[in-house]
């Protein structure tokens, strides 16, 4: 599906949009893939306090692939944005 305006008002890129709680404790919404400029459905589930399971998919979650995202420590998060 076509991308839904991935750029945020502050100049950053918005990759997760339309998130809403689902009955099983997960969040569902949309995720933007900047590599191919497409937007996919996504299911997000916390897997402990420092990591999240991210499952982008087309159609139903069964056809997706789960990725494990780790929280960036606060001390190093700002260092990545500096030139």
Buried b (16+ CB within 10 A) or exposed e, 9-43: eeeeeeeeeeeeeeeeebbbebbbeeeeeebbbbb
Cβ neighbours, 10 Å, residue 76: 8
Beta strand extents in 34-74 (DSSP E only): 38-46, 51-57, 67-70
- pTM over the 0.85 mark: no
pLDDT in tens, the chain (83 residues): 554 555 666 667 889 999 999 878 899 999 999 899 999 999 999 999 999 999 999 988 888 999 999 998 887 655 555 44
CA distance 65 to 71: 19
List alpha helices for the chain, DSSP H: 74-77
């Amino acid at each position: 599906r076509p991308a839904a305006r991935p750029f945020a008002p502050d100049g950053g890129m918005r990759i997760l949009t339309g998130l809403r709680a689902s009955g099983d404790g997960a969040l569902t919404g949309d995720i933007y893939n900047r590599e191919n400029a497409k937007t996919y459905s996504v299911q997000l589930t916390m897997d402990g306090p420092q990591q999240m399971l991210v499952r982008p998919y087309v159609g139903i979650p069964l056809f997706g692939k789960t990725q494990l995202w780790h929280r960036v420590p606060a001390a190093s998060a700002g260092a990545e944005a500096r030139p």
